[in-house]
Amino acid sequence: MGQRFSFEVKARDGQARQGVITTPRGEVRTPAFMPVGTAATVKAMLPGSVRETGADILLGNTYHLMLRPTAERIAALGGLHEFMNWDRPILTDSGGFQVMSLSGLRKLTEEGVRFSSHIDGSKHMLSPERSMEIQKLLGSDIVMCFDECPALPATQDEVAKSMRLSMRWAQRSRDAFGDRPGHALFGIMQGGVTQELRAESAEALTAIGFDGYALGGLAVGEGQEAMFSVLDYAPAMLPEDRPRYLMGVGKPDDIVGAVERGIDMMDCVLPSRSGRTGQAFTRHGVVNLRNARHKDDPRPLDEACECPACRNYSRAYLHHVVRSDEIIASMLMTWHNLRYYQDLMAGLRAAIAAGALAAFVARFHAGRADGDIEPL
Identify the bridge partners of residue 210 per DSSP, sorted by sequence position: none
Cα–Cα distances in angstroms (integers) from residue 310 to residues 72, 277, 333, in the given order: 41, 17, 10
Identity of the residue numbered 13: D
In the DSSP assignment, the letter for residue 302 is -
For residue 351, how far is the Cα from the chain centroid?
22
What is the per-residue DSSP string for 121-135? --EEEE-HHHHHHHH
How far is it, in rounded angstroms, from Cα 84 to Cα 311? 28
Identity of the residue numbered 50: V
Cα–Cα distances in angstroms (integers) from residue 225 to residues 97, 153, 172, 230, 238, in the given order: 22, 16, 33, 9, 21
Question: For residues 311 and 332, is the Cβ–Cβ distance under 8 A?
Answer: no
Count other C-beta atoms under 10 Å from residue 359's C-beta.
11
| Catalytic residue list | 93, 267
Question: For residues 91 and 141, is the Cβ–Cβ distance under 8 A?
Answer: yes
